[in-house]
Structure 1
Amino acid sequence: MAKSYRFYEFSVLKCNSNESATKGDNAMSKKIRTEAVDYLFQGILSLEDKEECYTFFEDICTINELLSLSQRFEVAKMLREHKTYLEIAEKTGASTATISRVNRSLNYGNDGYDMVFERIGLGEAKEEKAE
């Protein structure tokens, strides 16, 4: 019979795992680094303003894909603001699984969220947390 875990127990187990919770573990990065993905990113980098982003992403993504991406970005912002999972779920509609995945990326990922937040002027929240 499968063991069931309370959420906090699950979180502790995942955080102590050395397999996937290592900062800079680029297993996914190695899988996505293809010529096609490079070409996609080159296209994205060619966009000049928000309106061009809307035009391009409305063509390349479904509505749900785009909303999912924006939801994850909002979840990351709220996690950096030290909001609780409950507050985040209520405001964004994100599942606790999605919130947990984003939190894992913030804590053990490649610092991509941090890089972008810093560039758009939202770098302060993480600094407060570090103090």
Structure 2
Amino acid sequence: MKRKQIDPETTKESAEDNLCHALLAMRGVAEMRSFLRDLCTPSELEALIDRWRVVPYLLEGVAYREIHDRTGVSVTTIGRVARFLAEGSGGYRAAIEHRAVPSLRKRGRPAAAAKKSV
């Protein structure tokens, strides 16, 4: 839901930058977990987790229906993640490259075989 901007001196971009700086300021998983739990509602956090959870499967070329069966994440969400993984702003790719888990970094591009199978 879009809110009316209360502080006319704070642009949407600077507010987004401030959030990015706050996220970058977290030191370690425990601090980040605490921050995300304070920042997000349980359903918002669950949605973020679901999106991130399907990335490895998409990189492996697993079919959408199988990803759904393994994770319970909706096929619509899986398709959205796949679209942004392939055509988004590069955020998923950057996160994969910067993760400390080498197995995710080696998976590379999503396989063409990772198509919606209904």
TM-score in terms of structure 2 length: 0.75
Give the count of matched residue pairs: 99
Instruction: Establish whether residue 92 from structure 1 lines up as the match of residue 71 from structure 2.
Output: yes
Residue type at the aligned position of 1:87: E
Pick the structure with more helix per residue.
1
Match among 97, 104, 107 for residue 125 of structure 1: 107
Match among 46, 59, 63 for residue 67 of structure 1: 46
Match among 82, 92, 97 for residue 103 of structure 1: 82
Q: What residue in structure 1 maps to residue 57 of structure 2?
A: 78
Give the CA deviation at 1:61.
0.4
Give the CA deviation at 1:94.
1.4
Q: What residue in structure 1 maps to residue 21 of structure 2?
A: 42
CA–CA distance in 2 between the matches of 1:92 and 1:44? 26
Could you say what the CA RMSD is over the residues aligned between the two structures, in angstroms? Answer: 2.1
Which 5+ residue runs of structure 2 have no aligned equivalent? 1-10, 113-118
Residue type at the aligned position of 1:125: R
SS in 1 for 2:107: helix
Which 5+ residue runs of structure 1 have no aligned equivalent? 1-31
Which digits, 9 at most, give the CA deviation of each residue in 1:56-76, with x for residues without a partner? 111110111111101101112
* Identity fraction in percent: 34
Give the CA deviation at 1:128.
8.6
Give the CA deviation at 1:129.
4.6
Q: What residue in structure 1 maps to residue 94 of structure 2?
A: 115
Give the CA deviation at 1:33.
5.7
TM-score in terms of structure 1 length: 0.68
CA–CA distance in 1 between the matches of 2:110 and 2:39? 37
